[in-house]
Structure 1
């Protein structure tokens, strides 16, 4: 069974229909820095952007492996589109995990009917360091029962498309930093008074996904917008959401490698140097072998993480970190290898390998940088050996 067939069978989603919708758009989207929002809404309504949402709540009900293969398929087409899929999926997974019954019914119904979401994690002074988070979700202090959300989020993917921002922050009435271990996740309307969204100019990779600065200036929300009533450990909120994000990014990197392998092998078979296809030159053949090896390694790491997540294994979160670390580093090297094989043909901005070269580098930074992933994996190894 091919990856595309596996995705179709497991998620109930026709990947051929996705291919037809995407067409040759990714190069133009990358150059313009935008994906047509109508396309995103159509994919969202088809369940593509959050395929793990159960059928009873409006989604396709894919398991993590099927959703992963679907993510890789989209990642091979366009990393910017896959990035939107990742953040939308994180929002849906967080609602499903922490929301009460009414919130799951309401918000997941929205996220599987064409409304779009992004996720407010990182801040100017707080990326992987949760103790540095200053965004606060606190009681308004009046008889309304409402809450106020105040803070600044940075490098938020897909915010320009979003109807809703899933904001993570410290929770409670105390001063920032006094209750840092207690958090909340709130579904904040992107057009609510006090919300300001500013795109980051000229990002290196995933340009069409957009990356934004979001300022939240005493944004008033009803208590019903705080998932599960708030008060969860901030580390639990982050680990749950980030594990989904890391697996999604890892599968997207497997897709990048598949796209690079397809482009490199096609070029190596048909372009001649010295009277023979360049694939017959041993050094070029070595590049192809390395690309294939990287794709296989990344895919196996992703499959392992998906299986651990499905089983509810104790090391599921670490398996997600491992998959992201392995897939992202291999994608960055593999994309560079593909550009090397295609030479000037793959050096044009917008070409699949040129996009992969830039996009893959971004994957070594997001959802926990390579160095953060290494620290997590080292601590895990020290704990179990």
Structure 2
């Protein structure tokens, strides 16, 4: 990456993010998908635009951005490329954890560079067997003289091929710990994962930690504290980003279908005049509005410190990810064979949308959690 900027000169907005995406992301998103990576020059541009971690406090190099605006930015990026939005998501999760639970020394060391994008973060929870179940993780961190020894394997790590620092969750004698591990630490092995169904440019990797020696100051927060941290904070922020990004996919499907139907004719007449096409587009309009209202509601609650933001984010992520998958399928249908080719953006939306129903809590997990909350409320 290029030189560190100590925070954006001007706080990014939804409008500035939309302009950035229209100029730098959408024209190249299919090429990113084919190459299975995001180029370095775009990563630098994202940093110059202040988009990596604008929610960080100004004293840490951020813009102190509110969550509703943050959600709007992630919607716009998701409209352009879900892979780019995924990189923003995991970087957000890592940098937010440092701001929330890091020591003053950790914040000073990491946050200005993370705000600028000079240091990119990745979130290492998922494992080959346990998935994202923090109770089942097998990676371990044991005490050694002057620090820790970290051993374990993490898989499906978004941005893992490119990240400069990993936020790694591992079992300790006291529970679960979270550790900041620079990529260059001896014993860290990164293996790219290619050919993934969707978000192909998100630079997924398997990351193996071979008895990695860490100093005492690698631990984020108290030893054994990380389980609650993940459930109540970091994963909630990830879900929020995915909810907003999924609305972006719905909007992208709407834009693509409206433009295609407006210029395409078939034997039955102009495509735009056919009722089945209008019905699909009407549903996209409606769900884009609904999904946007849901994540904005969750964002306002988070800004207010209201605990209700957790369930509101579950609802927003569930609705938006399911809607994205449904409308991406409809978008391919509207485009017909023209939507099935390797250069068809709607084909990319279709593959990316399926991933949204799995990451940051699958659709089934969302259903279980939302229903359980409804039962709890009815029992009052």
Scaled by the length of structure 2, the TM-score of the pair is 0.92
User: Are 1:39 and 2:42 counterparts?
Assistant: yes
Instruction: Give, in angstroms, the shift of residue 43 of structure 1.
Output: 1.3
Deviations 1:180-212 (A, max 9, x none): xx2221110112111111122310000010221
1:171 aligns with 2:164: no
Identify which of 134, 139, 142 aligns with 2:138.
134
Match of 2:257 in 1: 264
Alignment CA distance shift 1:337-1:128 (3 Å):
same
Residue 97 (structure 1) aligns with: 100
Structure 1 residues 106 and 8, CA gap change in structure 2 (3 angstroms):
closer
Q: How many residues align?
A: 368
Q: Report the counterpart of residue 115 of structure 1 in structure 2.
A: 119
Residues 197/361 of structure 1: CA separation in 2 closer, same or farther (3 Å cut): same
Equivalent of 1:215, from 203, 208, 212? Answer: 208
Q: CA deviation at 1:309?
A: 1.0
User: How far apart are the structure 1 equivalents of 2:331 and 2:137?
Assistant: 39
Quick check: 1:35–1:208 contact (8 Å CA) kept in 2? yes
Q: CA deviation at 1:49?
A: 1.8
Q: 2:70 and 2:276 mapped to 1: Cα distance?
A: 36
Q: Distance in 2 between matches of 1:46 and 1:146?
A: 37
CA contact (8 A) 2:243 2:316 kept: yes
Do the aligned partners of 1:159 and 1:212 also contact (CA within 8 Å) in 2?
yes
Q: Which is further off, 316-325 or 241-250?
A: 316-325
Matches within 5 A, 1:59-208: 59-113=62-116, 114-140=118-144, 142=145, 145-172=146-173, 179=174, 182-208=175-201
Alignment correspondent of 1:24: 27
Alpha-carbon contact 2:295-2:316 (below 8 Å) kept? yes
The Cα offsets for residues 91-128 of structure 1, whole Å up to 9 and x where unpaired, read as 11111111122212221112023211111011112124
8 A contact 1:45–1:112 mirrored in 2: no
1:290 corresponds in structure 2 to 283
8 Å CA contact 1:257–1:331 kept in 2: the answer is yes
SS of equivalent to 1:169 = strand
Give the stretch that moved more between structures: 353-362 or 129-138.
129-138
Q: Shift in Å at residue 45 of structure 1?
A: 4.7
Whether contact under 8 Å (2:125, 2:132) holds in the other structure is no
Per the alignment, in what secondary structure is the counterpart of residue 112 of structure 1?
helix
Deviation at 1:36, TM superposition (A): 0.5
SS at 1:104 equivalent: helix
CA contact (8 A) 1:155 1:213 kept: yes
Render the CA deviation track for 1:332-375: whole Å, top value 9, x for unaligned: 00100111111122221242211000000001011111111111
**TM-score when normalising by structure 1:** 0.91
Confirm or deny: 8 A CA contact 2:165 2:181 kept in the other structure.
yes
Structure 2 unaligned spans of 5+: 1-9
Unpaired runs of at least 5, structure 1: 1-6, 173-178
Separation of aligned partners in 2, 1:130 and 1:36:
32
Question: Which residue of the partner structure matches residue 239 of structure 2?
Answer: 246
